[in-house]
Amino acid sequence: MAGDIWFLQRHWMSSGWVVDYVMEFLASRVDNASTRDLLSELVEANVVFLDLRDPKEAELVDLIADELPSHVASLEDSQLRENLTVTFKDLYRFAREQQDYNRDPTQDTYFTIGPHPAEYFTIENLKRRISGYLDDVDYVRIDVSDYTEEQRAMVREYLAELANPRVFVVGDE
């Protein structure tokens, strides 16, 4: 089973046990007792999902960005340490981006769709995702770096029809 952690501008997915690991870490470090209890209940119920988009969740975001890396680096099990270091690379980056937003929620926000493997691309899915994210953020970036030339052309064609300056392509070099 997979787990998810949502940030305002990113969505991080990993295997369920990895998200469970993050949630247990957060529960062991968070100051707020009700948040600690909620995290523990979620872990016990095997609900491996966190929504950290709201700046009110800054304490959890800060723990991921500022304390989780040193915790992982101090693990005695070298195989686990190396595995989590690689697995958490994007999680740390996404948490730091969320920290920036939490400190200044007046700044423009961006959600990046992708990069995703070409075999999972459908233009219909992309259209739905763009529409949904435009309600939450100022801009939507579509990373097409892993798409085929034909798929990139489909995205460019759709964006030309959409004619929304808040939606644009990256990774099309």
Q: Give the three-state DSSP class for 25.
A: helix
Looking at the structure of the chain, the number of domains it has is 2
Same domain, 19 and 51: yes
Look up the domain containing 148 and give its range. Answer: 110-170
pLDDT in tens, 84-108: 999 999 999 999 999 988 888 788 8
- Per the CB < 8 A criterion, the answer to whether 38 and 49 are in contact is no
Same domain, 99 and 114: no
Same domain, 98 and 114: no
pLDDT in tens, 139-148: 999 999 999 9
Same domain, 133 and 153: yes
Same domain, 73 and 149: no
Distant-in-sequence contacts of 90-94, Cβ < 8 A, 24+ apart: 90/10, 90/12, 91/5, 91/12, 91/14, 91/22, 91/64, 92/64, 92/65, 92/68, 94/5, 94/7, 94/9, 94/10, 94/12
The domain boundary residue, chosen from 103, 127, 148: 103
Q: Is the pLDDT of residue 112 over 80?
A: yes
